[in-house]
Amino acid sequence: MKALVITEGTEAARELSAGARLMADEVVLVSFSDAPGNVADKVAKVSVPEGFVLDDAADTVISVFASERPGVVLVEPTRRLKAVAGRLAAHAGTAVVTDATGFSDEGAKSLYFGGVAERVQKPAGDVAVYTVPAGVFDGSDATGAGVEEEVAWVAPANPLKLVSSRPLQRSGVDLGKADAVVAAGRGFTEESQLDLARALCEKLGAGLGCSRPLTEGVDWLPTETYIGVSGLMISPKVYVACGISGQMQHMVGCNRSNTVFAINKDKNAAVFKQCDYGLVGDIKEVLPALTAAL
């Protein structure tokens, strides 16, 4: 059986290709960026032409799917590739199993009800299409000749119109790979207070993440750093949730961390039911004290 791996990022290409190797004899990687060498047998390189957007790559990916005829498809769950996965699955007469975090003969394990439960699902059709978050497979296990092939762009009948674009703000830290992540929430009421979290990050060697309101409400941190169901799903060794209430849309992105610490001034905050260690206190007092004590 063949597996198709569809990714935007190089680390995801490594991890998902390693995972695909466990499920199939041949691994074909569809790559939209510079693919890492020797992680798949074949690399189908897709360049998005000027004026088009990656969200519209479904027809191109379907053309690869039609020629390769894979039995299993693993997709990196970026916003754009989730849209591509949905359209590919519809084309293949199946449904996407989203955010699969484990695979066995019984099916794929994934989070349910926003992360408060787990379920095991079998593919709905002949082809299995999974989105797989970071950290499920070990990218260092990926192997393959990496024979590259350019794929011709297939323009959709009704393409999205690109009105404007601006460069993505980069945080400089790959939170998907960080051993420790400090995450700031709406308990931070001024942007300057983020320096308290940054100081703790420095002491811990951690990356700085956040809840969604800090990227989409006030734009204090780059969109790529928010954790949760619609953002990053990460599994660091240590996750420190600071001034975060613990709503499921956020916690589903971090509840696979080895150890979760929470700091919140409200002793009844939901986050305290979902952490390993909780500290009731004001971040303005707790963070400087913690940083000094470390």
Ligand X SMILES: Cc1cc2nc3c(=O)[nH]c(=O)nc-3n(C[C@H](O)[C@H](O)[C@H](O)COP(=O)(O)OP(=O)(O)OC[C@H]3O[C@@H](n4cnc5c(N)ncnc54)[C@H](O)[C@@H]3O)c2cc1C
Task: Please say which residue, 123 or 243, places its beta carbon nearer to ligand X.
Answer: 243
Q: Residue type for 137, please? A: F
**Of positions 17, 110, 245, 255, contacts ligand X by CB under 6 A:** 245
User: Was 193 annotated as part of a binding site?
Assistant: no
Q: For tokens 């809840």, what's the residue?
A: 211
Q: Residue type for 14, please? A: R
Q: Which among 262, 270, 254, 272 is positioned nearest to 111, based on CA atoms? A: 254
Task: Please say which residue, 21 or 212, places its beta carbon nearer to ligand X.
Answer: 212
* By the rule CB under 6 A, 144 interacts with ligand X: no
* By the rule CB under 6 A, 45 interacts with ligand X: no
Task: Please say which residue, 9 or 187, places its beta carbon nearer to ligand X.
Answer: 187
Q: Which among 42, 23, 165 is positioned nearest to 104, based on CA atoms? A: 23
Least distance (Å) between residue 189 CB and ligand X: 7
Can you spell out the DSSP letters for 257-268? SSEEEEEES-TT
Chain-centre distance for alpha carbon 189 = 27
Cα first-last separation, the chain: 51
Distance between CA atoms of residues 127 and 94, nearest Å: 7
Q: For tokens 């005829």, what's the residue?
A: 69
Two tokens at 178? 């960080």
**Of positions 247, 279, 288, 291, contacts ligand X by CB under 6 A:** 247
**Of positions 80, 91, 198, 265, contacts ligand X by CB under 6 A:** 265
The pair phi, psi for residue 273, each rounded to 5°, is -85, -5
* By the rule CB under 6 A, 228 interacts with ligand X: yes
User: Was 23 annotated as part of a binding site?
Assistant: no
**Helix or strand holding residue 110 (H, E):** strand 107-112
Task: Please say which residue, 142 or 194, places its beta carbon nearer to ligand X.
Answer: 194
Choose one: 15-23, 32-40, 127-135, 257-265; the region binding ligand X (CB under 6 A): 257-265
User: Was 41 annotated as part of a binding site?
Assistant: no
* By the rule CB under 6 A, 115 interacts with ligand X: no
Distance between CA atoms of residues 250 and 232, nearest Å: 9
Two tokens at 222? 């780059």
User: Was 1 annotated as part of a binding site?
Assistant: no
Contact (Cβ atoms closer than 8 angstroms) between residue 242 and residue 197: yes
* By the rule CB under 6 A, 231 interacts with ligand X: yes
User: Was 246 annotated as part of a binding site?
Assistant: yes
Least distance (Å) between residue 241 CB and ligand X: 8
Residues 193-222 that bind ligand X (CB under 6 A): 211-213
Q: Residues binding ligand X: what is the number (CB under 6 A)? A: 27
Least distance (Å) between residue 101 CB and ligand X: 16
Q: Give alpha helix (H) positions in 70-191.
A: 79-91
**Residues annotated in the binding site for FAD, as ranges?**
186, 211-212, 243-250, 264, 282-283
Interacting residues with ligand X (CB under 6 A): 185-187, 211-213, 226-231, 243-245, 247, 249-250, 253, 263-266, 269, 282-284
